[in-house]
Amino acid sequence: MPEQTLQAMQKEQKKRSLSGIQPTNTPHLGNYLGAMKNWVTLAEKFDALYFIADLHSITLRMEPAALRKQTFESFVLLLAMGIDPEKSVVFVQSSVSAHSELCWLLNCYTQYGELSRMTQFKDKSQKYPENINAGLFTYPVLMASDILLYQADFVPVGADQKQHIEIARDIAMRFNGAYSETFKLPEPYFTKSTAKIMSLSEPLKKMSKSDQNLNATVFVLDDRDTIIKKFKRAVTDSEADISYHEEDKGKAGINNLISVYCAMTKKTVAETEHEWQGKGYGDFKIAVGELVADGLKGIQQRYQELSADKEYISSCMKKGAERAASIAHRTLKKAQKKIGLFQV
């Protein structure tokens, strides 16, 4: 059997996964440790697709030049982190028109009540009361379209995104029930090692790209000195006991630092506590900062190399969009035909 045919058969046997990240800013340490670090591993396990969710990002106003720049940077970062564009499909969402087209179709199969119960809409409506737009309300339908277009078996998500997978399944079941089997029902994929990284300034809140406090968030492209300074300034309690107490909100700061340390070293909490027994917060903060800076160094160097080769990145973007579109348009055409839209 020819090697190419064997490889194709092996790929067909793999389950398909889909992951996306918004280009609203440079990914932060929480994005990296909580999701993106695992994507390289998932690419070996699944027939994986990765995309830059630029359409999702425009529910908030962005400068056009900034959106283009951050979309480019996010795409390059995926490659710099080790995702191979030859083995996985890597693309920019808006480059595949089927996302927007299927979104409109599925809007007509989604109930108002379903969307009004989505926690993200409620949260963002409170956070941005001056811009409660229809796109923010129908955001889950676009996310459902992203997933269902590619007949994804699994979607790697955090616990806070589970609701979006559930509504995607509900929409798919409603459509399938009306017209026969069209969309595969996706399952959320949770990785046991996923780290939940909190703000360095307010450790009861998740680390966020949009935090106004510059010391709260460590970005993947921050330089070494900046990373270490941010960890030195990390909020902790008045004690000096480097131990993890999950239920104690007063220990949220040191708990967060221990989580980062464990994620970077692959040590257990018990091993970390034993290693740092009798030592102070100051030394621990510096050690965590240095670990993060060292861990991100290779990604940053690769990012600089790839960013300089704009012709190569443009080629990868084009090929990725073509590969994604070939899958997506098959699903779109099937859905259009089922509904009864005229085919030409």
248-257, 312-321, 323-332: which has the minimum mean pLDDT? 248-257
Domains of the chain, start order: 3-195+310-339 (3.40.50.620), 224-305 (1.10.240.10)
Phi, psi of 188 (to 5 degrees): -70, 145
With a CB cutoff of 8 Å and minimum separation 6, the contacts of 72 are: 313
- Positions marked active-site: 124, 206, 209
Cα 190 → chain centroid: 13
Phi, psi of 335 (to 5 degrees): -65, -40
Tell me: pLDDT of 91 over 70: yes
For residues 154 and 188, what is the distance between their CA atoms, to the nearest angstrom? 6
Taking only Cα atoms into account, the Rg of the chain, rounded to an integer number of angstroms, comes to 22
Give the chain as a 3 state SS string: CCHHHHHHHHHHHCCEEEEEECCCCCCEHHHHHHHHHHHHHHHHHCEEEEEECHHHHCCCCCCHHHHHHHHHHHHHHHHHCCCCCCCCEEEEHHHCCHHHHHHHHHHCCCCHHHHHCCHHHHHHHHHCHHHCCHHHHCHHHHHHHHHHHCCCCEEECCHHHHHHHHHHHHHHHHHHHHHCCCCCCCEEECCCCCCCCECCCCCCCECCCCCCCCCCCCECCCCHHHHHHHHHCCCCCCCCCCCCCCCCHHHHHHHHHHHHHHHHHCCCHHHHHHHCCCCCHHHHHHHHHHHHHHHHHHHHHHHHHHHHCHHHHHHHHHHHHHHHHHHHHHHHHHHHHHHCCCCC
Tell me: pLDDT of 20 over 60: yes
Q: Residues 191-207: pLDDT tens digits? A: 655 568 999 999 999 99
pTM: 0.87
177, two tokens: 């029930």
Q: Residues 74-86: pLDDT tens digits? A: 999 999 999 999 9
* Angle of helix 64-80 versus helix 310-339 axis, rounded to 10: 100
Phi, psi of 148 (to 5 degrees): -70, -30
Q: Which of 110-114, 121-125, 208-212, 227-231 has the highest mean pLDDT?
A: 227-231
Looking at every residue in the chain, the average pLDDT score rounds to 91
Q: Can you give the pLDDT at residue 121?
A: 79
Band the pLDDT of 217: cuts 50, 70, 90.
Answer: very high
Band the pLDDT of 2: cuts 50, 70, 90.
Answer: low
